[in-house]
Structure 1
Amino acid sequence: MIGIVDDQAKDVALRTWIEATTGASIKAIHRVSGGAFRTSSLVELVGPGDRQGCAFLKIDLGSAPKTPFDLRREHGLLARLDGHARAPRTIGWHEGATAMAMHCLPGEAVYAKIRDDAHRERIERSFAEALVECHAIDIASLALDHLPAGLSIRQAIEQELAMWEALLDERVADPDPLTLFAFRWLHHRLPADDRPAVLVQGDAGPGNFLFDDERVTGLVDWEMTHLGHPLEDLGCVLARSLVQPMTSADRLLALYRQASGAVWRREELLYVTVLVMARFSVPIALALESRHTGLDYGLTNSYFRLSQISLVRLIARAENVALDESVPTAGARPPIDFEFEYLRDVLGNIVKPAVDDPYVGYRLDGAIGLINYLGAALGTETPSERADRETLRKLYAEQIATGEIRATLQDFLTEALWREVLMRDMLGPLHGRRVEL
């Protein structure tokens, strides 16, 4: 039988715990996903009287960059929600394995498989309704210290910005200048909104909700949940559209207005989409900073670089600044070092053990040797120095305050477009995608 995790001792502990907690026997295990930091498994169960059931496990492998948004926090929230807002109900928490078990929700998660237009429209409408249910949760009733009741939207956003910038400063040695600029812009354009902050799901979009023929049956992945502006969840759908497209910003906003009965402006959606994309850039930077070879480096780095184009375009639109989006034919070579280590690990520790043909193995050893040579020859170049983060923050704050930001935004966009040129093959079908609003 497939293991819940690769670690044999942890696997045995989790199996024993699941059977003792549910009072059922394990029939089968299906790995749902796995990576450098976390893995998930669906466990089929057989209870008394041959009753069929299942449990869904999420396991922290212990290698993830440390942020407040971890599985323990998600479990605590889900236990308080107890199935409200279409959230999964918890079964239990295993401290030793840092694992959470939940009752399975009905439905499937692959939104892209929907081919019927009427079915898609039903699911999109139900998705907006599910978000409204989440945003209507009584925060005080949750009684969680990290979700204090009584904050305004402005206060909640201020706290979020401070927290993510602190993580950036503590954990990322050389943050990307565009990330620093985006946070300065968000501070400067902070909305004076005294309406109550709501419970924001935080990672809304395709892949993170389940559905059947008629409706959304559940929202999953609540670890990024926080207090904020309700349109942040729509901004999250738009930000994730670079990898998992759903529907247009106009339709999302119209569906949310209908479901909530409130009037929300496009300008608000624009601001919070920049907020979401800037926030996403921090955990991505933390993951890349970890230099963990188990990371899906290609996808992570591709999304980060691709999202920068949209981030610049959205800020420029909010500021009514016209930029030249011509694709550059040349540009600076980005610094390369960890990429060689990553390739050596993938080829040497993942591909090579699966190769049986001696000749292929011989050629693979040669390729690994070539990577070592390229790493020694190209990976030692010292990247050009740039101003420290505080100097950049001060500069960007002055530019934003005076409205003199076009040149800086243009530089960001030109560099991001050149990276897209370099990464064209790695981006594959993602090449050319933009967040449209």
Structure 2
Amino acid sequence: MHYMRFLRLPSIERGRSNFYIKIVVTISTDLGDSFLDPEEPIEISVIGAYPSLKDGQKTLVPVILTPGNAPRWRAGMRVLKMDLPLPSDQIETVQVRPSNRKLAALGTFDMYPATGEGLILGAYADVSSSPATRAPAACFRSLRLTTADTAATTALQVQEDIGDSIARHIWDAGILTVSLVADMCLRPTAPLSKEPLPLLSAILRRRDRPLNFLELGCGIGTLGIGIARVLASMTPPEQGEAGHVLMTDLPDAERWARANITRCLGQAQSSHGAMPRIDYENLDWNDGKDGVFGEKAQSRPWDLVILSDCTYNDMLPTLVQTLSAIHSHSAQRAVAEDTPTDTKIMLSTKLRHPSERAFFKLMSTDGWLVEEKTILPLPVLNAEPQTVEVYLFSKNIKMKHQWQ
């Protein structure tokens, strides 16, 4: 799929007779290595929001900034620059997205199940008219958690970098897997035989006790926070804590992961469900392979280890050894706490190179077996078909499996 991206922070300027906002965007893939090349021009909507007080409470009022001759993204473009007049200098937030609803990813149902929509994910940015109080160099994504049968009760919001680092951006596998999990957990219960991943669905829907999730290579936190928001939506407040989600990565990711945890917890104050506890801790797989974990990772047995788009790098043996070390730690911790725990792995990946298949052979050699698998089509516009593969691994389970 494609993503609208701010190439710089939107800035509000004063003209001779009015205010205007300068916006520079592009539309590219998750890695930024390919630009959208549509057959027909795509009209772009820019929606601002300004503050208003109602009953003593601050609310944001939306206003369309492109009501007439809307800008268009055309084949061959790399950058779209816009100077748009403003009703005032009080605009706090700007959203850019396709005007055509069938092209815009507004909710998880737009991406899974495949509906032919959800082709382009819009972007938001906070703005300021004062150079002294410029917003940080970040934008954010907002995606309603929806299904075919239910309206959105909450949304996933994640902040990402305005810059070139692909490690600090949203990736295809994470956002599509969140859409899958939302569909599994938020729509009315269906027979497990009709689920694409019935065993995973059963784990996510468990109610006998709060579940513990450990994420490896979390990046900005799309998958971990997305699962936390889904759990909160399906857990009534009276049930108490909905579980524990610990996100881990290298120190470079910490700032962004923590910023998104803070954003998520801020949203949770206005939600109606029980929010899982969400935390972050640095974890280097070079340490993890030797069973060296931080205090938080050691604090409990883990029901489900989750990771997305982590098979692209050259540390596959180290990753597999870390997964096995987590399984061993969890087994020991479960015995000590008398808490039956069978740690499983949920992996989602958009395979970008044949060499990534080595991961599955390494997992098999280390005693991991695939319990179930599904292939999800990505929404794409004027491009070759693309997919995300989702696996549930279990260790030391006697079952027949043939690698595909």
TM-score clears 0.5: no
When the two structures are superposed, what TM-score results if normalisation uses the length of structure 1? Answer: 0.27
Q: Which has the larger radius of gyration?
A: 1
TM-score, with structure 2 as normaliser: 0.29
As a proportion of its length, which structure holds more helix?
A: 1
Structure with bigger strand share is 2
Higher relative contact order (CA 8 A, sep 6+): 1
